[in-house]
Structures are given as C-alpha cells and as structure tokens.
Amino acid sequence: MDNRTYSELVLLGTYDERLEYLMLEGVELSSPRSMSQSFYKSKQWKAIRESIIKRDFGCEIGILGIYIYGPIYVHHMNPITEVDIDNNDPKLYDPENLISVSLNTHNIIHYRTIAPEPYVERSAGDTKLW
C-alpha cells in the first residue's frame, strides 16, 4: 500500500483508526539506514520536518490534544527506499506523506510492538487523570 495520504488520515477520528491506517501490513522493508542518515541531516529535511511538527501542533498522528512529550518523529506514511533518496524523490518532502508521531507509535507502525496500555480517548466531562 503506497498511497496513504495525510488528507485521508485526518478524516479518521480516533488514534486507533489512524494507527490502523498507518500500519505497514505485509510490507517488506529494507531500511535505507546507511543513506538516510545524511538525508535526515539535510537542510531541506529539517525545514519540512519543522513545518510538519507545526502543522500537527506537536500532536500524536495529528490528533489535537494528544501531545507528544519527548522526541517527535516525522514519519513517512509511505515507506521510502534508497532509490527515493538517490533520486531525491518528491515524496521525501511531500506533506501529504508525512505525519508527527511519538517513538512508541513509530515502533508500533514499523515493528508491531504493542503499546503498554491502549490509548483511551478523552471525552467531555472526563476529569480522571489516569
């Protein structure tokens, strides 16, 4: 599935729906880690990364009110390859292909690690902290 978009993602209301949309089911990944390190240090990447974090207000998968405390990862919703990096493919910087996530959510998307506890949506009148 190489056609996920931010515009479609934001139509989904809950964390679980968005996480399901982003999950990499049946996708064989070979991380271009050796090449990606220089890519992630480039001025162009740093600029788009900052704009995506601002667009998402530093919130988990773009859901207002679910703030990311700690490092914010800007995730490519459609996986990138060494060829994409070699060719400076536009999808590397396309806001429709990028979303802010926490490390935990990033690991769930890529490695199917299970979150310690399922996320519980807050609701009006909810005053219980935990």
Q: What long-range pairs does 9-13 form, CB within 8 A, spacing at least 24?
A: 9/61, 9/62, 9/77, 9/99, 10/62
Query: How far lies 118's CA from each of 15, 18, 46, 74, 121, in Å?
Result: 10, 14, 31, 22, 10
Question: Does 127 reside within a domain?
Answer: no
Residue 117: what residue type?
Answer: E
Question: Does 116 reside within a domain?
Answer: no
For the segment 58-101, what is each residue's pLDDT rounded down to a tens digit?
A: 999 999 999 999 999 999 999 998 899 999 999 999 999 999 99
pLDDT, averaged across the chain? 87
Question: Does 120 reside within a domain?
Answer: no
Residue 56: what residue type?
Answer: D
**Tokens in use for 66?**
């679910």
Question: Does 130 reside within a domain?
Answer: no
> In the block, which residue shows the tokens 């990447």?
45
Element holding 98 (H helix, E strand): strand 98-101
Question: Does 68 reside within a domain?
Answer: yes
User: How many domains does the chain divide into?
Assistant: 1
pLDDT tier for residue 12 given thresholds of 50, 70 and 90: very high
> What pTM did the predictor assign?
0.81
- Percent of the chain's residues with pLDDT above 90: 65
Does the pLDDT at position 121 exceed 90?
A: no
Question: Does 118 reside within a domain?
Answer: no
Domain that residue 39 falls in = 6-25+32-111
